[in-house]
Structure 1
């Protein structure tokens, strides 16, 4: 470990690893004592040790959600006065915590750790509650447009006072969620975790001393920052742009655009999100206060760790990364916008970031993964309580993107934000009225390439009870496929199929918001595959043989995508070599870095960069409450013109706005006068 810090280098290394191990011990305690399957099986949880200044200095690498080190907790730590030994604070509301509680189902707690009456640091934990109230079972619905619809909002308040539960809070909390016993079990697991953190920090203070521990915390953060800046300095200085889309908000059918320019200068990085869409009247928003929220930056964190495996995982790692985010955008929304699907939004933000970074580091950055994380939430009648029993059937994800030297990983995309596991089939069938009929890899979903993407997966389950409900937030890539790199093909798009009870065939039903189901209905969810990297005609034939044998690709895909010639004995290598040479001769010499897919290319022929710039210029000039409505009207005017065969120009769009603007003149004038 480098010198230049007050703590002895050897001791600093020991303490850095000790901070991590304490956090991991807390995480394992939380997972093992968690009550719901989404905690004790899937592992949607997190823990940390937090400094007095609100920065994470102890964080697990291998369990739970591992992406939150860029959060600064100072707002929430200072929100409750007069903290004493044995107090524990609970919260979930983004709007009163500076975005630390990023959506309502994430129940967060922290415990101040004292030694000799003096504050040393804080122990923190969170779990994703299966239900926190709100308009639907499971709380989150893409069509929610206000945070009030997404469940009970909890500003920072005391869960425990001097070691005793705050019964007034608990009574209110349990009266506003559908599964109070389950939530209480998971809260108890969090309390166990922070109490363990308190014990271990006390042992560290006893061994090393208060001042020495404080100094080591500061040095650990500074050391991570120094190593992070050294990595960024290796990236060529420049400005790297890319954009990606959520293909709709479920309500309007209008794609949501995310624009980013990554600016590298020396050891600093700025992520400029100018041009990103305005906040929407749906749940795809993030409350960030314009700061580098993890849902805007987490893949940058993992990119830095990929380039230097030895950087300690703490808040110092992300100090060199800053953001510029428009007010009232989907990444910096204003109250009371719904924020429940910030995961779906955040995943696509990372795709945009990596698309930009591929321009700087094409041999390091992979092709796009599935970009899809959709927990399947199932609600059935609870014959004991008279309400609903709510269960997360499975957190559905797809394949990762291929890299310059390796295939993508099957059905494990979005693991870079967590270590989520699938729910065991036996557990699911025990706790929910479903029968899992199929759960496995999806053939022909991996984007072809010299290195192929990872496969998506298929979940098929039958409903065993009448009057059930399924929600599936986060379904994406049904229209715009994951993009490939350097000639690699796009990954397969997602789809959802339903076979109603008594029917013989499945029908494609598109995305799910809230779907009523009954006994005998069968639902299939097909997740996207990751995209490929490099020309598929250059893929090693032995790899293709293995993929054919393993059911990764079909014979038809081997012939169509990879130029393979098959005979009765398998691959005809001589004929394949000849056919590949013929196919290669017909290709252009230079290929684009990104392969976006025909659906996105068609959309962007209509929505050129110039047209989009004019569109956002109009919207951002408006007061936030008017933007979503004007956005929808203008978009549909452009879409209708395109259907009539017109290519819309920025000037034409300005004319559409002048037509619409008349309806808003009185309100805009009042806003200009200060709302008098």
Structure 2
């Protein structure tokens, strides 16, 4: 049994610095991280960073405790950064190596803090008078990392971590200010679309160097002791907020189990329809998230989740979002203090704590399913602070050759949220620990041999509830040149859960249509598949679950859904007991229909 606990002791209730100075330093730290993010976006080559914002930027202290993070980054990029630093320091200590001024360290070890191999971190140490005082770090998802087939997402058939692509374990790409050209040559020689990918990596280095310079200037302005005192107080403040929120929960054990697809076309039952179980034990001002009961790891398929870098981030982000909703609490300092009151238990050898070299590159959708499971468990304690089940995401990696050169594109097919107390579920958005933006159609079609034929909400699929579930998208792509694609997804078998009388949501589907019009239904995980120019890929995204009794939904809200085309008039009557006549609400008939059902 492996217990992943809070890394730091309890906070000292006394403050170390006056609150005004602490607030100024906190604002300065946040602005440094935000500047790092903007610079990285502006310098990047690929749309996954430039448009989708699938990157992270943060500052840590010398031990790896996070001081701040860029607000535009995704939780799955910034969240693991402390683990990157801890992994780097551990590996370098084992080698007898030392972090020195002028170093830039590359790292993507999924068993050493990184989320998965394509999320490569570049870390710049910050020194003051010869002493290490912190790190400036950028992470980003790279479109190819030298795996067995083109792309980085969509690698769903790797048998171990070695088949997932290049592994960088605390590699100095710049050593004491001197660029290690051999490493950069290796990158260019082993990565498809190397101009794109290496260009993104160089942008990461520059953004991290900018952050390091800004942090050093801040320390020189206020003094190291003052800055240290400020962020210690900020971490204590974040911890107190989290402990107060946990203390408000009823003590008890709250358990939930959900399932995700796995490999639906695999004859081995150990690879499909896999359970995730979470038990949340609330005691006073701390809680334990116990993942005992989750399926065993799949030793030769990459849907396992690194405990540090994926599982911990999914748990922390979900709990923080539910208990410390920014609508209520406003801006909360994002730092390591938030995680101190939370302990995670994950049995070794399970999906949520795999044993090396079990592959993990396709951990994205299982991790989001884990976050959904944690939310379902917490729903028993705070039913008005959660959403119903989410429609999970899917990722398609398109690729091909253009005059002998590789092109690669990663398209994130958004999901949807379930209904929430007082609010309908959000339509066509990334969910839970994924918050990337969509790629504009103009960007896709101006750079790639892909045409986007449809991009719209699904018809008649909003899950009924007092607050309806969010609606997924219809996406249709036409390949304009020979190439291939692979898919890493979920949500084809299990409907997102409805809550408190709400109806379950709708599953997703994926269909390949060739030039002759022949249709081939696909499962949610598709290894590299060749296509010809003129082939179509049609995706129907999942729809979130409904929240609350549909017969309690405001009839005017039902009328709005009908007029907007989300549901038809027949569904309004069948699902909600609301009678629509033409484009108007028949109030008398609605009252009679609902009374009859009651």
How does 1:148-297 map onto structure 2 within 5 Å?
148-250=162-264, 251=266, 252=268, 254-280=272-298, 281-288=300-307, 293-297=312-316
TM-score, length basis structure 2: 0.92
Are positions 1:124 and 2:153 aligned together? no
C-alpha offsets along residues 154-200 of structure 1, whole Å, 9 cap, x if unaligned? 11110111223211111122222111111111011111211111121
* CA 291–530 in structure 1, closer or farther in 2 if over 3 Å, else same: closer
Q: CA deviation at 1:469?
A: 0.8
- Quote the Cα distance in structure 1 between the aligned partners of 2:427 and 2:21: 41
- Quote the Cα distance in structure 1 between the aligned partners of 2:25 and 2:305: 35
Are positions 1:25 and 2:35 aligned together? yes
* CA 348–55 in structure 1, closer or farther in 2 if over 3 Å, else same: same
RMSD between superposed Cα atoms in Å? 2.0
Comparing both chains, which one has the higher relative contact order based on Cα–Cα distances under 8 Å and sequence gaps of 6 or more?
2
Q: CA deviation at 1:3?
A: 7.4
Are positions 1:396 and 2:408 aligned together? no
* CA 453–248 in structure 1, closer or farther in 2 if over 3 Å, else same: same
Equivalent residue, structure 1, for 2:456: 440
Equivalent residue, structure 2, for 1:138: 151
- Quote the Cα distance in structure 1 between the aligned partners of 2:415 and 2:279: 27
How does 1:500-649 map onto structure 2 within 5 Å?
500-503=514-517, 506-514=519-527, 515-583=529-597, 585=598
Are positions 1:59 and 2:69 aligned together? yes
How does 1:425-504 map onto structure 2 within 5 Å?
425-466=441-482, 468-473=483-488, 475-503=489-517
Matched pairs, number: 572
Which of 1 and 2 has greater Rg?
1
Equivalent residue, structure 2, for 1:411: 428
Are positions 1:304 and 2:323 aligned together? yes
- Quote the Cα distance in structure 2 between the aligned partners of 1:231 and 1:136: 46
Equivalent residue, structure 2, for 1:345: 366
Equivalent residue, structure 1, for 2:58: 48
Equivalent residue, structure 2, for 1:101: 114
Equivalent residue, structure 1, for 2:9: none
- Quote the Cα distance in structure 1 between the aligned partners of 2:56 and 2:90: 21
Does the residue aligned with 2:400 lie in a helix, a strand or coil? Answer: strand
Contact 1:400-1:410 at 8 Å conserved across structures: yes
Q: CA deviation at 1:246?
A: 1.1
- 1:74 alignment partner, one of 72, 83, 86: 86
Q: Which moved more, 1:76-85 or 1:505-514?
A: 505-514
- 2:104 alignment partner, one of 88, 106, 111: 88
- Quote the Cα distance in structure 1 between the aligned partners of 2:75 and 2:223: 31
- Quote the Cα distance in structure 2 between the aligned partners of 1:577 and 1:499: 46
Q: CA deviation at 1:311?
A: 3.2
Does the residue aligned with 2:379 lie in a helix, a strand or coil? Answer: helix
- 2:403 alignment partner, one of 376, 379, 383: 383
* CA 67–296 in structure 1, closer or farther in 2 if over 3 Å, else same: farther
* CA 291–573 in structure 1, closer or farther in 2 if over 3 Å, else same: closer
- Quote the Cα distance in structure 1 between the aligned partners of 2:22 and 2:173: 34
**Consecutive unaligned residues in structure 1, runs of 5 or more:** 586-676
Q: Which moved more, 1:67-76 or 1:45-54?
A: 67-76
**Consecutive unaligned residues in structure 2, runs of 5 or more:** 1-11
* CA 410–391 in structure 1, closer or farther in 2 if over 3 Å, else same: same
- 1:147 alignment partner, one of 143, 146, 161: 161
TM-score, length basis structure 1: 0.81
